[in-house]
Structure 1
Amino acid sequence: MQANIIVYDVGSTYTKLTAFWLAEGVLDFIARAQALTTIDDIEIGVLAANQALALKGVEVCRDAAAFSTSSAAGGLRMVALGYMPRVTAKAAKEVAMSAGARVLEIVSCEDLPEFRLQVLREIKPDIVLLAGGTDGGDQDSMLENARIIVKSKSNAVIIIAGNYAAQGEVAEILTSGGVANIRVPNVMPTIHELKVKPAREAIHEQFIKQITLAKGLNKLLNVVSDKKVTPTPGAVLLGAELLAKGTFAQEGIGDILVIDIGGATTDIHSVMPGLEKLTIEEKGLVINNEKQPSYRTVEGNLGLRISATGIVETIGPVGVLTKIGYKGEELEQQLIDYAVFLEKNPGHISQSPLEKNFDLALAICAIEVALKRHAGYISQEFNPVMGIIPGIPIGRDLRRVKYVFAVGGLFTHCTQEEKQFVIKQAFKNPGISLLPIDPVFIFDEQYLLYSIGVLGQKYSDVSLQFAKKHFKIEKEV
């Protein structure tokens, strides 16, 4: 077997390698392989993945195109400074989504200047998102925060993403203070609109510059054809967007939800193209809805290996065991011990039926919690200030979503019965959450969605055609 396209994914636990053959406008999947990620020297894990692929009888052409994603670096450390706390939090969350950044602190004009200064000095962020004011609105907060950044002697790169009228003066303050900065369009030009793509792309550029050099991923830059390493969650979202929205030549499949459960986090992506057509009145205020077409949430304490104890702490050992019909103090302690062991040994593969069942229970709980935090809900109380009454939907309404994609190592290695059990149990008790009512579950058994996202940036039509065929989706439903 030959491959002329390969896509790496350097994860926190495993380095994956997926091989394709592209000829005459048709993309075919050849094989995938993996090896343990070697954080101290990424190249060792990459070479091991190459060897594993060769053992499967795959020959990579000398002129093969290579691409890569990574989540092993953990992301850039980001602080957001803005005007109003809820607006700043909303903008920071959306900008960081899939861009390779972790929001560690959000501060606003309601926080004392001394506190803002302390945050910058203690966290020492890689990136500062400097927002504040709609276009034509407040300027003072962004100017004040620029002076605080200079006073902090921060080494961060400042993404100036607030009121466009104030950006020039803000840039002058930062530049004269020796602080690197990049200007992008306002992330919230009006109270009804988020424009996060330019800021997200600026952060991604910093991800490539800073993380790849700091974590040894720079060696991958010498291998990949496009000279960049895409954050893995971003690649998964790109794949979801390609499937949902389609291309100029092909229709997409409509609203989709992606569950991506890994060793460190559980990510939920939803793409709802129809929301792009909403009027300003239908969108409402940005701060109290989730009506942007693409949306992602990350549960950093819910993972099947590095964050296993986070699941047990969130649900409680009794709650976790209930998912698989187990109970008893002895089993509770065994579950706790197993979760602690997994955090110390993230490469561990379950060895006994008990460990296997523990893994399934942990997965069910992680997915259920992540889904309910991502989705909106039916209001249960009055809030006259926000115009909320009981019975109305609040937040992200996923009830009409048709396709649910399940991604991650769990769904690659489990039996068909186990996959169905996990996903159905996670959706079993929606309560007041606005989860899909009657979805079609699709399991990404070969872990290809991230590859589709990366390849879709260069080969959009053939990647979409391949995805529809691979996942057996022939037409929009």
Structure 2
Amino acid sequence: MSAPLVACVDIGSTWTKAALVGLPAGELLGTAQAATDQADVVRGVLAATAGFPEAPVMACSSAGGGLRLAVVGYEELISAEAGHRAALSAGARVVHVAAGRLSADALVRLEAAAPDVVLLVGGTDGGEASVLRHNAAVLASSARPVPVVLAGNAVVRDEVTDVLRAGGLPVTGADNVLPDIGRLAPESARTAIREVFLRHVIGGDRLSADPRLSAWVRTVTPDAVLSGVSVLAASRTTADAAGVVVVDVGGATTDVYCVPDPDAEQATLGREAVGIPAARRTVEGDLGVAASAGALRAAAGAEGVPPPGEDPLGLGVAAVTVALRRHLRAEAALGPGGAGARTAGLVVLSGGVFRHAPPAAVDAAVGRIAADSGGAGSVLAGATVAVDGSYVLAAAGLLAGDHPGAATGLLSGGRAFRPTTPTTRPR
């Protein structure tokens, strides 16, 4: 892309946010937003960029709640969990997990979850294959032809692919997410899930029939933000190189991103062996301040978090508190190497509820999160806490592939973030 300007757009479930960026330095020239048009998301993009000079559009999307993914695996604690992690690393929202041999009733429950794609896993390479064969046959009998990403036992991949395609299901093959016991390899499945999202969800007509949408959208929003968080972590100086945690509160989901300090995370454990990615996230599809507000209140009640009421900032506090608690539980499940969020040197709060609130109100909200004794407070302890005031992390992630210098420039020097008060908290 040779143009001196680019419009980076995040199509959210509630709002469509746009940033006009100058190339190659990554200068932020303007920001705007518009309500996402649920009937045709392209209208929201055009409205958000209406005040910008003519510029090419690069976009990410979580409209419609993002990519809805079901995981079908061999057994809950191995194949299904491996598939679940691969789905989250692809920015998908897991709406259903099934393990073992699918029955007719289990197929009905899966169909009721209305996934956009099914991730079918099971067995190590050369290991047990009967469950994978059985589940492929059951999926092929479904009256709802959902696209399938096949990431199970590689020895029977061609056979299983033929069964699925004979049932009219689009199939995208990937390497096994669990090629050997104890070795998680999610990257191939992650790439395949992203391809299916772009081809079947963005390239279809669920969000818009306008062909410009598929030309604009490069990835799902959580993927773009995670790339932006990785750029942010890499741009920090040696003196402040402790890890970065970002909590992005949206209308439908709240996502937690963590790029730990490698030293604090005991990198010598061997990340490939234990299946711990260098950058990771959790996507919470029931924690949002608009479309998911009812589910957020229920989740807060279940966690013993004070009721958030109707105030948007109160909902944001509850969303961050519950999301951080869940993220820490997910990290604990990774074993000794999964302690990155507790050693963060920078915690960034993102989302309109923080971006548009008065600084004093945000400071008070941060204090309430820091006081949480259920785990969320431990993430903020000792860290600088800031607000993504210009919403540039998704934009940086969109730029990172083609314009890495611009991505770094957009986030450098702390200009994009507004520190809260106090900026540090003792551990």
The TM-score bracket by the shorter chain reads: 0.7 to 0.9
Cα deviation code 1:341-372 (max 9, x no counterpart): xxxxxxxxxxxxxxxxx233222122111111
Q: Residue 60 of structure 2: which of 56, 69, 80 is its match?
A: 69
1:404 aligns with 2:392: no
Alpha-carbon deviation of 1:400?
A: 1.5
CA distance in 1, matches of 2:234, 2:185: 18
Secondary structure (helix, strand or coil) at the match of 1:402 reads strand
1:300 aligns with 2:291: no
Task: For 1:34-45, list aligned pairs within 5 A.
Answer: 34-45=33-44
Task: For 1:22-171, list aligned pairs within 5 A.
Answer: 22=23, 25-51=24-50, 54=51, 58=52, 60-61=53-54, 64-97=55-88, 99=90, 101-109=92-100, 111=101, 113-123=103-113, 125-171=115-161
Aligned partner of 1:371: which letter? L
Q: Normalization by structure 2: what TM-score?
A: 0.84
Aligned to 2:172: 182
Cα deviation code 1:50-89 (max 9, x no counterpart): 33xx2xxx5x14xx33201221122343222111112234
Task: For 1:7-406, list aligned pairs within 5 A.
Answer: 7-22=8-23, 25-51=24-50, 54=51, 58=52, 60-61=53-54, 64-97=55-88, 99=90, 101-109=92-100, 111=101, 113-123=103-113, 125-212=115-202, 213-217=204-208, 219=210, 222=212, 227-245=216-234, 253=241, 255-272=243-260, 274=262, 277-280=267-270, 291-316=276-301, 335=309, 338=310, 358-376=311-329, 396-406=339-349
CA distance in 1, matches of 2:8, 2:384: 28
Task: For 1:458-473, list aligned pairs within 5 A.
Answer: 458-471=402-415
Secondary structure (helix, strand or coil) at the match of 2:64 reads coil
Aligned partner of 2:373: which letter? P
What's the C-alpha RMSD, in Å, of the aligned pairs? 3.4
Alpha-carbon deviation of 1:117?
A: 3.5
Which stretch shifts more, 268-277 or 294-303?
A: 268-277
Shift of the 47–114 alpha-carbon distance from structure 1 to 2, 3 Å rule, reads closer
CA contact (8 A) 1:407 1:444 kept: yes
CA contact (8 A) 2:98 2:106 kept: yes
CA contact (8 A) 1:27 1:463 kept: yes
Shift of the 165–254 alpha-carbon distance from structure 1 to 2, 3 Å rule, reads farther
Aligned partner of 1:170: which letter? V
1:448 aligns with 2:392: yes
Task: For 1:410-429, list aligned pairs within 5 A.
Answer: 410-429=353-372
CA contact (8 A) 2:184 2:274 kept: no
Which stretch shifts more, 202-211 or 430-439?
A: 430-439
Which stretch shifts more, 186-195 or 392-401?
A: 392-401
Alpha-carbon deviation of 1:471?
A: 4.3
Q: Normalization by structure 1: what TM-score?
A: 0.76
CA distance in 1, matches of 2:9, 2:368: 32
Which stretch shifts more, 89-98 or 196-205?
A: 89-98
CA contact (8 A) 1:126 1:155 kept: no
Q: Which runs of 5+ in 1 are unaligned?
A: 324-334, 339-357, 380-385, 387-391
Q: Which runs of 5+ in 2 are unaligned?
A: 418-427
Aligned to 1:437: 381
Secondary structure (helix, strand or coil) at the match of 2:172 reads strand
CA distance in 1, matches of 2:48, 2:34: 5
Aligned to 1:342: none
CA contact (8 A) 2:66 2:92 kept: yes
Larger radius of gyration: 1
Alpha-carbon deviation of 1:205?
A: 1.8
CA distance in 1, matches of 2:315, 2:69: 29
CA contact (8 A) 1:188 1:194 kept: yes
CA contact (8 A) 2:69 2:118 kept: yes
Identity %: 30
Shift of the 468–92 alpha-carbon distance from structure 1 to 2, 3 Å rule, reads same
Shift of the 68–377 alpha-carbon distance from structure 1 to 2, 3 Å rule, reads closer
Secondary structure (helix, strand or coil) at the match of 1:156 reads coil
CA distance in 1, matches of 2:385, 2:331: 24
CA distance in 1, matches of 2:109, 2:387: 42
